[in-house]
């Protein structure tokens, strides 16, 4: 496999491909932690006020076309509508979208390929990787560096196209021998199995099931802990319909509650506290480490995608880490049956709460404050029940939030709940969430 550089000096780092990353924000910084000096430039609209990041130039797209043409672009923002409009007319540019990568890759988490038990695949036999994305390229490079002699790519449905791969000098096959093993490096493993039915297909997309690094066996103590008690659970989201009086009512009635993210910013106005608390917003966890560490709550669950940037100070005994995975099956998020392995992201932390709640054995679950009626982005003004919920640094200019994807996640949760005999009710005042049967909150007491 031959790697090429577009600039005149044809610089190559240890026979590994170099990249330009679009986006010099938090996700771009995390990609730098993963790729280091293999990133030759960042494209960002703030290039006039930020000339470099980690010693790497921050440039405009116009300068990319002039000085960096030919480099594959990694689009780092989760919501990239504006970038898509710019790139739409440039079909010759190899583009990698981090949203189409395993979440571990897109969030710049360390991936130790040595933990993947690759020794089960004989080094002298041909090996194929289905899908041409950043994860596939990193996997390919590891295999080649560790003695696998014949590794090729099979074009998938997403990522770099066959033609773009040829421009980069990437070896691509279209007709693998039926006896060869295929490592699926994109989320469409069902498609790979249909296209190559005679081959042995290994799912390498869902890293949470492949790597023990992401396994948190201590969470198993929560399995079915509420199954026999037959108590109901209130999942308290933070939409504008939520009232402080609702929290006081839950406290007075000693209801079991689970809540999320920056709900703690109302604690100075109510005696209510959640029994279970989840925080998985990457930006929030990165910025509010000290606030979260100071919380005096019995059970705190933190997504590893956020605390990976925390200091080395040990977590409190009340704090537990779970692995957040964005794995999908035909575009639908998985519903985790074993939270010690992973919790599936669904564009809303409430989806994670539902996975936690059913794992704990709750059979009756009520949602409140789940408005699902965002004005702009979730962190924007008017989207939460208290004005101080988000600080100014939370309010980053981004495109519209894909709220329809949260409805898909709720449909997955409803389907799983129906299979398990679990009742989920929406006790939110108003809002746009109609997936679950509605009930009046005040009538529950």
The predicted-structure confidence for 238-268, as pLDDT tens digits, reads as follows 999 999 999 999 999 999 999 999 999 999 9
Same fold, 19-100 and 113-208: yes
Closest of 347, 346, 294, 331 to residue 316, by C-alpha: 294
* Cα 226 from Cα 157, distance rounded (Å): 43
Give me the torsion for CA of 81, 87, 91, 97, rounded to 10°. -60
Number of H helices, E strands in the chain: 14, 22
Q: What is the mean pLDDT of residues 280-297?
A: 91
* 3-class SS of residue 138: helix
Mean pLDDT of 279-304: 93
Residue of 54, 16, 280 whose CA lies nearest to 169: 16
Alpha-carbon Rg for the chain in angstroms: 23
pLDDT at res. 126:
92
**Nearest to residue 335, comparing CAs of 402, 403, 261, 414?**
414
Please report, to the nearest 10 degrees, the dihedral formed by the alpha carbons of residues 394, 278, 308, 328 taken in order.
-90
State the pLDDT at residue 385.
54
CA 46 to each of CA 50, 116, 260: distance values in angstroms, whole numbers, following the listed order: 6, 39, 32
Flag whether pLDDT at 7 surpasses 50.
Answer: no
- Which of the four pLDDT bands, split at 50, 70 and 90, describes residue 13? very low
Q: Are 17 and 72 spatial neighbours (Cβ–Cβ below 8 Å)?
A: yes
Cα dist from 62 to 66, 86, 90, 230, whole Å: 6, 11, 12, 62
Within 8 A by CB and 6+ apart from 399, the residues are 79, 80, 81, 82
Q: Residue 435: what are its φ and ψ, rounded to 5°? A: -70, -35
How sure is the predictor about 388, in pLDDT bands with cuts at 50, 70 and 90?
low
Residue 36 phi, psi (nearest 5): 60, -135
Query: What integer pLDDT is reported at residue 4 of this predicted model?
Result: 38
CB 183 within 8 A of CB 127: yes
Mention every residue, 6+ apart, whose C-beta is less than 8 A from residue 246: 368, 369, 441
State whether residue 399 is helix, strand or coil: coil
Asked if residues 389 and 262 have their Cβ atoms less than 8 Å apart, the reply is: yes
Take residue 130 and report the two structure tokens written for it.
């289905």
Task: Report the candidate in 43, 52, 54 with the shortest Cα–Cα distance to residue 77.
Answer: 43
As a whole number of angstroms, the distance between CA 370 and CA 65 comes to: 44
- Where would I find the H helices in 223-288? 244-252, 282-287
Which residue reads 């074009």 in tokens?
A: 155
Q: According to the per-residue pLDDT averaged within each range, which of 102-111, 115-124, 289-298 is highest?
A: 289-298
DSSP states of 178-218 as a string?
TTSEEEE-SS-HHHHHHHSTTSEEEE-S-HHHH-GGG--GG
pLDDT at 238: 93
**Cα within 13 Å of Cα(191), Cβ side:** 16
Q: What is the pTM of this model?
A: 0.85
The alpha-helical segments, DSSP class H, found in 38-159 are 61-67, 81-87, 103-106, 134-145
Q: What ranges do the domains of the chain cover?
A: 19-100, 113-208, 215-444
Within the chain, what is the greatest distance between any pair of CA atoms? 73
Strands 300-303 and 276-279: parallel
Q: Which class does domain 113-208 fall in?
A: alpha beta
Identify the pLDDT of residue 146: 95
3-state secondary structure of 431: coil
If pLDDT is split at 50, 70 and 90, which confidence band does 401 have? low
Q: Please name the fold of domain 19-100.
A: Rossmann fold (3.40.50)
pLDDT at 176: 87
386 pLDDT band (50/70/90 cuts)? low
Residue 329's H or E segment, with its range, is strand 328-329
């Amino acid at each position: 496999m031959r790697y090429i550089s577009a600039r005149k000096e044809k610089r190559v780092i240890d026979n590994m491909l170099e990249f330009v990353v679009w986006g010099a924000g938090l996700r771009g910084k995390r990609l730098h932690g993963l790729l280091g000096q293999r990133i030759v430039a960042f494209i960002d609209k703030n290039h006039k006020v930020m000339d470099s990041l980690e010693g790497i130039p921050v440039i405009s797209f116009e300068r990319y076309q002039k000085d960096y043409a030919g480099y594959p672009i990694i689009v780092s923002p989760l919501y990239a509508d504006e970038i898509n409009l710019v790139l739409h007319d440039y079909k010759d540019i190899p583009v990698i979208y981090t949203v189409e990568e395993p979440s571990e890759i897109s969030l710049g988490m360390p991936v130790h390929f040595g933990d993947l038990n690759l020794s089960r695949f004989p080094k002298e036999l041909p090996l194929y990787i289905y899908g041409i994305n950043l994860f596939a390229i990193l996997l390919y490079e590891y295999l080649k560096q560790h003695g696998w002699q014949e590794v090729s790519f099979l074009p998938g449905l997403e990522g770099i196209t066959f033609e773009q791969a040829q421009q980069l000098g990437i070896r691509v096959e279209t007709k693998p021998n039926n006896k060869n093993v295929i490592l699926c490096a994109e989320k469409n493993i069902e498609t790979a199995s249909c296209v190559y039915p005679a081959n042995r297909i290994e799912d390498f997309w869902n890293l949470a099931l492949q790597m023990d690094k992401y396994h948190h066996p201590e969470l198993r103590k929560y399995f079915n802990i509420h199954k026999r008690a037959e108590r109901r659970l209130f999942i308290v989201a933070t939409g504008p319909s939520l009232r402080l009086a609702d929290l006081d009512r839950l406290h007075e009635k000693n209801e079991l509650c689970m809540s999320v993210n920056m709900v703690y910013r109302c604690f100075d106005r109510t005696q209510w506290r959640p029994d279970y608390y989840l925080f998985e917003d990457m930006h929030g966890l990165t910025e509010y480490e000290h606030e979260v560490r100071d919380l005096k709550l019995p059970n705190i669950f933190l997504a590893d995608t956020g605390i990976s940037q925390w200091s080395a100070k040990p977590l409190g005994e009340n704090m537990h880490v779970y692995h957040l995975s964005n794995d999908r099956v035909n575009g639908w998020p998985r519903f985790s049956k074993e939270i010690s392995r992973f919790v599936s992201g669904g564009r809303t932390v409430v989806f994670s709460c539902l996975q936690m709640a059913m794992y704990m054995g709750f059979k009756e679950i009520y949602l409140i404050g789940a408005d699902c009626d965002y004005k702009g982005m979730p962190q924007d003004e008017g989207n939460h029940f208290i004005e101080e919920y988000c600080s100014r640094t939370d309010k980053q200019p981004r495109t519209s939030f894909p709220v329809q994807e949260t409805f898909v996640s709720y449909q997955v949760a409803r389907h799983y709940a129906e299979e398990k005999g679990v009742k989920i009710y929406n006790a939110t005042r108003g809002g746009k969430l109609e997936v679950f049967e509605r009930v009046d909150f005040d009538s529950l007491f």
